[in-house]
Amino acid sequence: MKARNYGPVKGQAYTRKEYVKGFPPPKIVKFTMGDVKGTWDYEARLVSIQRKQIRHCALEAARVATNRILMDKLINDYLVKVLPYPHIILRENKMIFGAHADRLQQGMRRSFGRTVGTAARIEPGQTIMTVRVKAAGLETAKESLKRGTAKLPLTCRIVVEKLEPKVESKGDAGKVDTE
Provide the whole-model pTM. Answer: 0.80
Helix (H, G, I), strand (E, B) or coil at 109: coil
Cβ-proximal residues to 169 (8 Å cutoff; 6+ apart), any chain: none
Cα(41)–Cα(13) distance, integer angstroms: 38
Strand order in the sheet with 32-34: 32-34, 78-82, 127-133, 42-48, 156-162
Residue 149 clears pLDDT 90, i.e. is over it: yes
pLDDT, tens digit, 9 for 90 and up, residues 93-137: 777 776 665 666 666 776 677 888 889 999 999 999 999 999 999
Q: Would you tell me which CATH number, out of the four given (3.40.980.10, 3.90.1170.10, 1.20.5.510, 3.40.220.10), belongs to the domain 3-91+115-162?
A: 3.90.1170.10
The mean pLDDT value of the chain amounts to 84
Higher pLDDT, 35 or 96: 35
Q: Are 27 and 88 in contact (CB under 8 A)?
A: no
Statement: residue 177 has pLDDT above 60: no
